[in-house]
Protein backbone atom coordinates (compact mmCIF):
# COMPACT_ATOMS: atom_id res chain seq x y z
CA UNK A 1 0.00 0.00 0.00
CA UNK A 2 1.17 3.47 -0.88
CA UNK A 3 0.07 6.76 0.64
CA UNK A 4 0.61 9.80 -1.55
CA UNK A 5 -0.11 13.48 -1.00
CA UNK A 6 -0.67 16.33 -3.41
CA UNK A 7 -0.25 19.96 -2.40
CA UNK A 8 -1.90 22.47 -4.72
CA UNK A 9 -1.59 26.22 -4.77
CA UNK A 10 -4.47 27.96 -6.54
CA UNK A 11 -5.32 31.44 -7.65
CA UNK A 12 -9.05 31.92 -7.10
CA UNK A 13 -10.57 34.48 -9.46
CA UNK A 14 -13.39 36.88 -8.54
CA UNK A 15 -12.92 36.44 -4.79
CA UNK A 16 -12.79 39.67 -2.86
CA UNK A 17 -13.31 38.27 0.64
CA UNK A 18 -12.92 35.11 2.70
CA UNK A 19 -16.56 34.10 2.29
CA UNK A 20 -16.38 34.05 -1.52
CA UNK A 21 -13.08 32.17 -1.38
CA UNK A 22 -14.52 29.62 1.04
CA UNK A 23 -17.55 29.07 -1.21
CA UNK A 24 -15.38 28.46 -4.26
CA UNK A 25 -12.87 26.19 -2.51
CA UNK A 26 -15.67 24.22 -0.84
CA UNK A 27 -17.15 23.48 -4.27
CA UNK A 28 -13.75 22.27 -5.50
CA UNK A 29 -13.16 20.15 -2.37
CA UNK A 30 -16.56 18.47 -2.59
CA UNK A 31 -16.15 17.70 -6.28
CA UNK A 32 -12.71 16.14 -5.79
CA UNK A 33 -13.86 14.05 -2.85
CA UNK A 34 -16.91 12.73 -4.71
CA UNK A 35 -15.32 12.16 -8.09
CA UNK A 36 -11.88 10.77 -7.12
CA UNK A 37 -12.59 9.30 -3.65
CA UNK A 38 -9.66 11.14 -2.05
CA UNK A 39 -9.30 13.03 1.22
CA UNK A 40 -9.11 16.79 0.59
CA UNK A 41 -8.54 19.70 2.95
CA UNK A 42 -7.85 23.39 2.66
CA UNK A 43 -4.59 24.45 4.25
CA UNK A 44 -4.49 27.78 6.07
CA UNK A 45 -4.04 30.73 3.75
CA UNK A 46 -5.60 34.08 4.66
CA UNK A 47 -5.17 35.74 1.27
CA UNK A 48 -8.62 35.97 -0.39
CA UNK A 49 -7.20 35.34 -3.86
CA UNK A 50 -5.07 32.28 -3.05
CA UNK A 51 -5.89 28.83 -1.72
CA UNK A 52 -3.72 25.90 -0.72
CA UNK A 53 -5.23 22.42 -0.87
CA UNK A 54 -3.91 19.10 0.42
CA UNK A 55 -5.09 15.89 -1.25
CA UNK A 56 -4.31 12.41 0.12
CA UNK A 57 -4.90 9.02 -1.46
CA UNK A 58 -4.10 5.39 -0.68
CA UNK A 59 -3.45 2.93 -3.50
CA UNK A 60 -2.00 -0.51 -4.07
CA UNK A 61 0.95 0.73 -6.12
CA UNK A 62 3.00 3.91 -6.35
CA UNK A 63 2.07 4.25 -10.01
CA UNK A 64 -1.66 4.06 -9.27
CA UNK A 65 -1.42 6.67 -6.49
CA UNK A 66 0.63 9.07 -8.61
CA UNK A 67 -1.70 8.63 -11.58
CA UNK A 68 -4.79 9.38 -9.46
CA UNK A 69 -3.23 12.54 -8.01
CA UNK A 70 -2.17 13.73 -11.46
CA UNK A 71 -5.78 13.36 -12.61
CA UNK A 72 -6.90 15.36 -9.56
CA UNK A 73 -4.45 18.14 -10.48
CA UNK A 74 -5.74 18.14 -14.07
CA UNK A 75 -9.34 18.41 -12.83
CA UNK A 76 -8.46 21.37 -10.60
CA UNK A 77 -6.58 23.06 -13.46
CA UNK A 78 -9.70 22.72 -15.62
CA UNK A 79 -11.91 24.47 -13.05
CA UNK A 80 -13.19 27.77 -14.47
CA UNK A 81 -12.67 29.88 -11.30
CA UNK A 82 -9.29 28.48 -10.21
CA UNK A 83 -5.87 28.74 -11.83
CA UNK A 84 -3.33 26.13 -10.76
CA UNK A 85 -0.10 27.86 -9.70
CA UNK A 86 1.88 24.88 -8.41
CA UNK A 87 1.54 21.21 -7.57
CA UNK A 88 3.77 18.88 -5.57
CA UNK A 89 3.23 15.11 -5.26
CA UNK A 90 4.89 13.34 -2.33
CA UNK A 91 4.83 9.61 -1.65
CA UNK A 92 4.96 8.39 1.93
> Hey, what CATH topology would domain 2-91 get?
Alpha-Beta Plaits (3.30.70)
Determine if the pTM surpasses 0.85: yes
**Residue 83: what pLDDT?**
92
- Would you list the DSSP string of the chain? -EEEEEEEEEEETT--SHHHHHHHHHHHHHHHHHHH--EEEEEP---TTEEEEEEEEEESSHHHHHHHHHHHHHHHHT-TTEEEEEEEEEE-
* Cα–Cα distance for residue pair 35/53, rounded to 1 Å: 16
| Span 10-29, pLDDT tens digits | 998 887 788 888 888 999 99
Instruction: Categorise residue 73: left if φ over 0, alpha if ψ from -120 to 50, beta otherwise.
Output: alpha
What are the boundaries of each domain within the chain? Answer: 2-91
Amino acid sequence: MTVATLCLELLITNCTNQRAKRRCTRAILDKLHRHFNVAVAEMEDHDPGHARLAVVTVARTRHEARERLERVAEAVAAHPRAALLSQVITEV
